[in-house]
Amino acid sequence: MDFSEMLPASLSSGEQQIEESERIPVVKHELQRSVLVLNGLSFNIHSSGPKDGEPVLLLHGFPQFADIWSELMLSLAGDGFRTFALDQRGYSAGARPAEIESYDVTHLTSDVLAQADSLGIVSFHLIGHDWGGFLAWKLAAEHPDRVRTLSILSTPHVDAFLEAVKGDPDQKARSQYIEFFKMPGQVAESFFLADDAKRLRDVYQGKASEPQVSSNVRRLSEPGALTSVLNWYRALDLDMRVGKVRVPTLYMWGNEDRSLGKTAALATADYVDAPYQFEMLNGHGHWLLEETPQKISTLIQNHLRTDHSNAHPA
Protein backbone atom coordinates (compact mmCIF):
# COMPACT_ATOMS: atom_id res chain seq x y z
CA MET A 1 0.00 0.00 0.00
CA ASP A 2 2.87 2.42 -0.59
CA PHE A 3 1.00 5.18 -2.39
CA SER A 4 0.97 8.31 -0.22
CA GLU A 5 1.52 10.48 -3.28
CA MET A 6 -0.57 8.27 -5.52
CA LEU A 7 -2.80 10.74 -7.33
CA PRO A 8 -1.58 11.31 -10.92
CA ALA A 9 1.98 12.60 -11.31
CA SER A 10 2.69 11.53 -7.77
CA LEU A 11 4.61 8.29 -7.94
CA SER A 12 8.33 8.61 -7.61
CA SER A 13 11.10 6.18 -8.31
CA GLY A 14 14.64 5.98 -7.08
CA GLU A 15 17.55 3.73 -7.66
CA GLN A 16 18.67 1.62 -4.75
CA GLN A 17 20.71 -1.50 -5.10
CA ILE A 18 20.71 -4.12 -2.36
CA GLU A 19 24.23 -4.84 -1.22
CA GLU A 20 25.28 -8.46 -1.53
CA SER A 21 25.89 -8.56 2.23
CA GLU A 22 22.23 -7.70 2.76
CA ARG A 23 21.03 -10.79 0.92
CA ILE A 24 19.43 -13.52 2.98
CA PRO A 25 21.75 -16.53 3.17
CA VAL A 26 20.21 -19.32 1.08
CA VAL A 27 20.76 -22.90 2.16
CA LYS A 28 20.35 -26.12 0.21
CA HIS A 29 16.61 -26.29 -0.25
CA GLU A 30 14.53 -25.83 -3.37
CA LEU A 31 11.22 -24.12 -4.04
CA GLN A 32 8.48 -26.38 -5.31
CA ARG A 33 5.65 -24.92 -7.39
CA SER A 34 2.23 -26.47 -7.75
CA VAL A 35 -1.47 -25.63 -8.06
CA LEU A 36 -4.14 -25.86 -5.37
CA VAL A 37 -7.88 -25.69 -5.99
CA LEU A 38 -9.42 -23.67 -3.16
CA ASN A 39 -12.96 -22.33 -2.93
CA GLY A 40 -13.52 -23.33 -6.54
CA LEU A 41 -10.51 -21.36 -7.82
CA SER A 42 -7.01 -22.46 -8.91
CA PHE A 43 -4.04 -20.95 -7.07
CA ASN A 44 -0.33 -21.12 -7.76
CA ILE A 45 1.56 -22.13 -4.60
CA HIS A 46 5.25 -22.12 -3.70
CA SER A 47 6.61 -24.37 -0.94
CA SER A 48 9.91 -25.38 0.59
CA GLY A 49 11.42 -27.03 3.63
CA PRO A 50 11.28 -30.40 5.38
CA LYS A 51 7.94 -32.15 5.31
CA ASP A 52 7.83 -32.44 9.09
CA GLY A 53 8.81 -28.82 9.75
CA GLU A 54 6.54 -26.39 11.58
CA PRO A 55 4.33 -24.81 8.87
CA VAL A 56 4.70 -21.16 7.91
CA LEU A 57 2.25 -19.37 5.60
CA LEU A 58 3.43 -16.18 3.87
CA LEU A 59 1.02 -13.62 2.40
CA HIS A 60 2.21 -11.07 -0.18
CA GLY A 61 0.81 -7.62 -0.86
CA PHE A 62 0.12 -5.29 -3.79
CA PRO A 63 1.51 -5.27 -6.42
CA GLN A 64 3.63 -8.36 -5.87
CA PHE A 65 3.39 -12.14 -6.05
CA ALA A 66 4.35 -15.06 -3.82
CA ASP A 67 7.86 -15.19 -5.27
CA ILE A 68 8.84 -12.09 -3.29
CA TRP A 69 9.20 -14.49 -0.37
CA SER A 70 11.56 -16.90 -2.16
CA GLU A 71 14.77 -16.06 -0.30
CA LEU A 72 13.05 -15.85 3.08
CA MET A 73 11.26 -19.16 2.44
CA LEU A 74 14.55 -20.88 1.65
CA SER A 75 16.18 -19.35 4.71
CA LEU A 76 13.32 -20.53 6.94
CA ALA A 77 13.46 -23.94 5.27
CA GLY A 78 17.12 -24.14 6.25
CA ASP A 79 16.04 -23.46 9.82
CA GLY A 80 13.70 -26.46 9.72
CA PHE A 81 10.39 -24.77 8.85
CA ARG A 82 7.97 -25.88 6.13
CA THR A 83 6.99 -22.77 4.14
CA PHE A 84 4.07 -22.03 1.82
CA ALA A 85 3.17 -18.93 -0.21
CA LEU A 86 0.19 -18.47 -2.54
CA ASP A 87 -0.24 -16.16 -5.48
CA GLN A 88 -3.43 -14.87 -3.90
CA ARG A 89 -6.88 -14.21 -5.33
CA GLY A 90 -6.54 -12.03 -8.43
CA TYR A 91 -2.83 -12.76 -8.71
CA SER A 92 -3.25 -16.40 -9.74
CA ALA A 93 -4.57 -16.54 -13.30
CA GLY A 94 -7.09 -19.23 -12.29
CA ALA A 95 -8.45 -17.18 -9.39
CA ARG A 96 -9.91 -14.03 -10.94
CA PRO A 97 -13.68 -13.91 -10.42
CA ALA A 98 -15.36 -10.93 -12.05
CA GLU A 99 -17.41 -9.56 -9.15
CA ILE A 100 -15.87 -6.91 -6.89
CA GLU A 101 -17.50 -8.45 -3.84
CA SER A 102 -15.51 -11.64 -4.46
CA TYR A 103 -12.44 -9.73 -3.24
CA ASP A 104 -13.68 -8.66 0.18
CA VAL A 105 -11.50 -9.63 3.13
CA THR A 106 -13.81 -12.48 4.12
CA HIS A 107 -13.18 -14.21 0.80
CA LEU A 108 -9.46 -13.38 0.90
CA THR A 109 -8.93 -14.81 4.37
CA SER A 110 -11.11 -17.80 3.50
CA ASP A 111 -8.59 -18.68 0.78
CA VAL A 112 -5.79 -18.75 3.37
CA LEU A 113 -7.70 -21.03 5.72
CA ALA A 114 -8.71 -23.25 2.80
CA GLN A 115 -5.04 -23.50 1.85
CA ALA A 116 -4.13 -24.68 5.35
CA ASP A 117 -7.01 -27.15 5.40
CA SER A 118 -6.10 -28.51 1.99
CA LEU A 119 -2.53 -29.10 3.16
CA GLY A 120 -3.67 -30.73 6.40
CA ILE A 121 -2.26 -27.90 8.53
CA VAL A 122 -4.09 -27.37 11.81
CA SER A 123 -2.05 -24.39 13.03
CA PHE A 124 0.71 -22.33 11.46
CA HIS A 125 3.07 -19.39 11.81
CA LEU A 126 1.77 -16.48 9.73
CA ILE A 127 3.81 -13.80 7.94
CA GLY A 128 2.34 -10.95 5.89
CA HIS A 129 3.35 -7.76 4.15
CA ASP A 130 1.17 -4.87 2.94
CA TRP A 131 -2.26 -6.33 2.03
CA GLY A 132 -0.95 -9.70 3.16
CA GLY A 133 -0.32 -8.12 6.55
CA PHE A 134 -3.88 -6.76 6.63
CA LEU A 135 -5.23 -10.28 6.07
CA ALA A 136 -2.81 -11.74 8.59
CA TRP A 137 -4.00 -9.36 11.35
CA LYS A 138 -7.60 -10.37 10.64
CA LEU A 139 -6.81 -14.08 10.63
CA ALA A 140 -4.87 -13.87 13.88
CA ALA A 141 -7.62 -11.86 15.58
CA GLU A 142 -10.43 -14.17 14.49
CA HIS A 143 -8.64 -17.55 14.52
CA PRO A 144 -6.12 -17.58 17.38
CA ASP A 145 -6.48 -21.35 17.50
CA ARG A 146 -4.97 -21.58 14.01
CA VAL A 147 -2.19 -18.97 14.22
CA ARG A 148 0.87 -19.89 16.31
CA THR A 149 2.77 -16.64 15.82
CA LEU A 150 2.25 -13.51 13.76
CA SER A 151 4.96 -11.57 11.90
CA ILE A 152 3.94 -8.41 10.04
CA LEU A 153 5.91 -6.18 7.69
CA SER A 154 4.75 -2.56 7.31
CA THR A 155 0.99 -2.88 7.87
CA PRO A 156 -0.35 -1.76 11.27
CA HIS A 157 -3.18 -3.61 13.01
CA VAL A 158 -6.36 -3.36 10.93
CA ASP A 159 -8.27 -1.40 13.57
CA ALA A 160 -5.37 0.95 14.28
CA PHE A 161 -5.03 1.67 10.56
CA LEU A 162 -8.73 2.19 9.85
CA GLU A 163 -9.15 4.40 12.93
CA ALA A 164 -6.21 6.49 11.73
CA VAL A 165 -7.70 6.75 8.23
CA LYS A 166 -10.79 8.27 9.83
CA GLY A 167 -9.28 10.41 12.54
CA ASP A 168 -5.64 11.21 11.85
CA PRO A 169 -5.02 14.00 9.29
CA ASP A 170 -1.62 12.60 8.37
CA GLN A 171 -2.96 9.11 7.65
CA LYS A 172 -5.97 10.54 5.84
CA ALA A 173 -3.62 12.31 3.45
CA ARG A 174 -1.48 9.21 3.00
CA SER A 175 -4.55 7.09 2.18
CA GLN A 176 -6.11 9.22 -0.55
CA TYR A 177 -4.92 6.70 -3.13
CA ILE A 178 -7.62 4.28 -1.92
CA GLU A 179 -10.37 6.55 -3.26
CA PHE A 180 -8.43 6.92 -6.49
CA PHE A 181 -8.28 3.14 -6.85
CA LYS A 182 -12.03 2.91 -6.24
CA MET A 183 -12.93 5.28 -9.11
CA PRO A 184 -15.18 3.66 -11.74
CA GLY A 185 -14.33 3.22 -15.40
CA GLN A 186 -10.95 1.54 -14.85
CA VAL A 187 -9.31 4.90 -14.20
CA ALA A 188 -6.60 3.34 -12.03
CA GLU A 189 -5.91 0.57 -14.55
CA SER A 190 -5.38 3.09 -17.33
CA PHE A 191 -3.18 5.19 -15.08
CA PHE A 192 -0.92 2.30 -14.20
CA LEU A 193 -0.64 0.66 -17.62
CA ALA A 194 -0.11 3.78 -19.76
CA ASP A 195 3.33 4.39 -21.29
CA ASP A 196 4.43 0.77 -21.08
CA ALA A 197 3.23 0.55 -17.46
CA LYS A 198 5.67 3.23 -16.35
CA ARG A 199 3.65 4.24 -13.29
CA LEU A 200 3.20 0.63 -12.24
CA ARG A 201 6.97 0.21 -12.42
CA ASP A 202 7.44 3.38 -10.38
CA VAL A 203 5.41 1.93 -7.51
CA TYR A 204 8.41 -0.21 -6.52
CA GLN A 205 10.52 2.96 -6.00
CA GLY A 206 13.65 1.29 -7.28
CA LYS A 207 13.73 -1.10 -4.33
CA ALA A 208 13.03 -4.32 -6.25
CA SER A 209 15.36 -5.70 -8.90
CA GLU A 210 14.60 -4.95 -12.54
CA PRO A 211 13.93 -8.64 -13.38
CA GLN A 212 11.46 -8.85 -10.49
CA VAL A 213 9.69 -5.64 -11.52
CA SER A 214 9.46 -6.75 -15.14
CA SER A 215 8.09 -10.13 -14.10
CA ASN A 216 5.46 -8.49 -11.87
CA VAL A 217 4.44 -6.02 -14.58
CA ARG A 218 4.17 -8.76 -17.18
CA ARG A 219 1.85 -10.81 -14.97
CA LEU A 220 -0.22 -7.79 -13.91
CA SER A 221 -0.63 -6.82 -17.58
CA GLU A 222 -2.47 -10.04 -18.38
CA PRO A 223 -6.13 -9.48 -19.30
CA GLY A 224 -8.15 -8.83 -16.16
CA ALA A 225 -5.20 -9.16 -13.77
CA LEU A 226 -4.80 -5.55 -12.68
CA THR A 227 -8.56 -5.08 -12.31
CA SER A 228 -8.72 -8.18 -10.12
CA VAL A 229 -5.97 -7.05 -7.75
CA LEU A 230 -7.34 -3.49 -7.54
CA ASN A 231 -10.69 -5.00 -6.60
CA TRP A 232 -9.15 -5.73 -3.18
CA TYR A 233 -9.32 -1.97 -2.57
CA ARG A 234 -12.73 -1.58 -4.18
CA ALA A 235 -14.21 -4.24 -1.90
CA LEU A 236 -12.61 -2.83 1.25
CA ASP A 237 -15.05 -1.78 3.97
CA LEU A 238 -13.41 1.09 5.86
CA ASP A 239 -15.83 0.55 8.75
CA MET A 240 -14.77 -3.04 9.42
CA ARG A 241 -12.97 -3.91 12.64
CA VAL A 242 -11.37 -7.19 13.77
CA GLY A 243 -10.61 -6.74 17.48
CA LYS A 244 -7.53 -7.62 19.48
CA VAL A 245 -4.91 -10.16 18.53
CA ARG A 246 -4.02 -12.72 21.18
CA VAL A 247 -1.08 -14.54 19.62
CA PRO A 248 2.65 -13.67 19.93
CA THR A 249 3.27 -10.86 17.47
CA LEU A 250 6.27 -9.26 15.75
CA TYR A 251 5.51 -5.99 13.95
CA MET A 252 8.17 -4.36 11.72
CA TRP A 253 7.62 -0.86 10.36
CA GLY A 254 9.90 1.51 8.46
CA ASN A 255 9.73 5.13 9.61
CA GLU A 256 10.03 6.34 6.01
CA ASP A 257 6.95 4.44 4.82
CA ARG A 258 5.04 6.87 2.62
CA SER A 259 1.62 5.31 3.01
CA LEU A 260 1.53 3.85 6.50
CA GLY A 261 2.22 6.54 9.04
CA LYS A 262 3.46 6.66 12.59
CA THR A 263 0.09 7.11 14.31
CA ALA A 264 -1.27 3.68 13.40
CA ALA A 265 2.14 2.02 13.77
CA LEU A 266 2.46 3.17 17.38
CA ALA A 267 -1.20 2.48 18.17
CA THR A 268 -0.86 -1.14 17.06
CA ALA A 269 0.44 -2.10 20.51
CA ASP A 270 -3.02 -1.31 21.94
CA TYR A 271 -4.53 -4.06 19.82
CA VAL A 272 -2.22 -6.93 20.82
CA ASP A 273 -3.01 -8.78 24.05
CA ALA A 274 -0.06 -11.16 23.82
CA PRO A 275 3.74 -11.01 23.76
CA TYR A 276 4.48 -8.13 21.38
CA GLN A 277 7.68 -6.95 19.70
CA PHE A 278 7.66 -3.70 17.74
CA GLU A 279 10.66 -3.00 15.52
CA MET A 280 10.87 0.50 14.08
CA LEU A 281 13.35 0.32 11.21
CA ASN A 282 14.78 3.80 10.89
CA GLY A 283 15.73 4.94 7.41
CA HIS A 284 13.61 2.30 5.70
CA GLY A 285 10.30 2.58 3.89
CA HIS A 286 7.53 0.29 2.77
CA TRP A 287 9.49 -2.36 0.86
CA LEU A 288 11.25 -3.81 3.89
CA LEU A 289 11.90 -7.24 2.41
CA GLU A 290 13.76 -5.65 -0.48
CA GLU A 291 15.48 -2.92 1.52
CA THR A 292 16.84 -4.91 4.44
CA PRO A 293 16.29 -8.63 3.82
CA GLN A 294 18.87 -9.92 6.29
CA LYS A 295 17.46 -7.84 9.14
CA ILE A 296 13.91 -8.99 8.40
CA SER A 297 15.00 -12.63 8.14
CA THR A 298 16.83 -12.49 11.47
CA LEU A 299 13.92 -10.84 13.26
CA ILE A 300 11.42 -13.36 11.91
CA GLN A 301 13.58 -16.40 12.59
CA ASN A 302 14.20 -15.28 16.16
CA HIS A 303 10.48 -14.68 16.65
CA LEU A 304 9.54 -18.11 15.31
CA ARG A 305 12.18 -19.84 17.46
CA THR A 306 11.18 -18.08 20.70
CA ASP A 307 9.23 -19.97 23.34
CA HIS A 308 6.41 -17.53 24.15
CA SER A 309 4.61 -19.83 26.56
CA ASN A 310 5.77 -17.99 29.69
CA ALA A 311 5.92 -14.49 28.23
CA HIS A 312 3.63 -11.69 29.34
CA PRO A 313 1.78 -9.29 27.06
CA ALA A 314 3.68 -6.09 26.32
For 16-46, letters b (16+ CB in 10 Å) and e give: eeeeeeeebeeeebebeeeebebeebebbbb
Any idea which fold 20-305 has?
Rossmann fold (3.40.50)
| pLDDT the model gives residue 8 | 42
* Distance of alpha carbon 166 from alpha carbon 4, whole angstroms: 15
| pLDDT the model gives residue 296 | 98
> What predicted TM-score, i.e. pTM, was given to this entire model?
0.91
Q: What is the pLDDT of residues 67-108, one digit of tens each?
A: 999 999 999 999 999 999 999 999 999 999 999 999 999 999
| pLDDT the model gives residue 308 | 83
For 183-210, letters b (16+ CB in 10 Å) and e give: eeeeebbebbbeeebebbbbbbbbbbee
Residue 7: pLDDT over 70: no
Task: Give the DSSP letter string of 235-295.
Answer: T--TT-----B-S-EEEEEETT-SSS-HHHHHHGGGGB-S-EEEEEETT--S-HHHH-HHH
159 Cβ neighbours under 8 A, 6+ residues apart: 241, 242, 243, 271
| pLDDT the model gives residue 15 | 35
Distances (CA, A) of 250 to 80, 228, 296: 20, 30, 11
Q: What is the pLDDT of residues 126-138, one digit of tens each?
A: 999 999 999 999 9
Q: Which residue has the higher pLDDT, 142 or 16?
A: 142
Q: What is the pLDDT of residues 275-291, one digit of tens each?
A: 999 999 999 999 999 99
| pLDDT the model gives residue 29 | 77
| pLDDT the model gives residue 12 | 34
| pLDDT the model gives residue 309 | 75
Looking at the DSSP bridge assignments, the partners of residue 253 are: 280
* Distance of alpha carbon 192 from alpha carbon 196, whole angstroms: 9
**Coil vs helix vs strand at 91:** coil
Q: What is the pLDDT of residues 186-208, one digit of tens each?
A: 999 999 999 999 999 999 999 99
- On average, the pLDDT of the chain sits at 92
Q: Which residue has the higher pLDDT, 37 or 22?
A: 37
In the chain, what are the domain boundaries? 20-305
Q: What is the pLDDT of residues 147-173, one digit of tens each?
A: 999 999 999 999 999 999 999 999 999
pLDDT over 70, % of the chain = 89
